[in-house]
Amino acid sequence: MTLRHDLTGKKIGRLTVILFVPGSINNPGKWECLCDCGKAVHVLSVNLRSGGTRSCGCLKSMIISEKNTKHGGSNTKLYGVWYAIKMRCLNKNNKRYSDYGGRGIKIYSSWEKNFSAFRDYIFASLGDKPSEDHSLDRIDNDGNYEPGNLRWATRVQQSRNNRHNSNLTLNGVTKTISDWSKITGIGASTIQARINRLGWSIEKTLQTSQKGN
């Protein structure tokens, strides 16, 4: 049988055409092809020549998988973290914008529209989240969401890193107000009031017992 369009041996997409399998009056013949993935399929001549069929079906699965990877796999928890960061930093209507974008906190430009870049950095530099008690935190609370300024931190670590939780240095030792409160037995609110309202020095603030005040 002489074929008008002999496709034997041709490579079309991921398919290599092996031979023509004749059909019947009601069943047109098809080309047997071997896909790069190793699966054999039978394809109509018109679909091969038009490029409508380029694999056994695995190519479509690969494209969908790559698309999901490129756009971040939006069903993951890390995607939710990335999206929340963007909203806090970029969306003026977000209820937390004033504490982030409103005071100059930005998200690294390469991450702004590319979740994959953000995800790859986290996995390569920070690794998997250590536990459910950990979440993503900025090391410098006044710094941006950018390489070198992120860590996995517990709720306690993050509370100590809060911008309202100032560090105080006494005799060369620097600790948060929360930590000094535990050490001295002086309430954190009292420490803040002594410094901010009464204008006391750090030495007087931390070395004067609350009972004697």
- In the structure encoding, which two tokens stand for residue 20, read together? 């023509």
For residues 74 and 5, which has the higher predicted lDDT (pLDDT)? 5
Q: Which residue has the tokens 């603030």?
A: 205
Residue 203 has pLDDT above 80, yes or no: yes
- CB count in 10 Å sphere of residue 166: 13
> 170 pLDDT band (50/70/90 cuts)?
confident
Output the pLDDT for position 85. Answer: 94
Per-domain residue ranges of the chain: 11-66, 72-160, 167-207
* Helices 188-196/177-184 angle, 10° precision: 110
> What's the rounded Cα separation, in Å, for the pair 206 and 186?
8
Q: Which residue has the tokens 């070395």?
A: 207
Give residue-wise pLDDT tens across range 99-142.
899 989 999 999 998 888 898 888 888 888 888 888 898 877 77
Q: What is the mean pLDDT of the chain?
A: 81
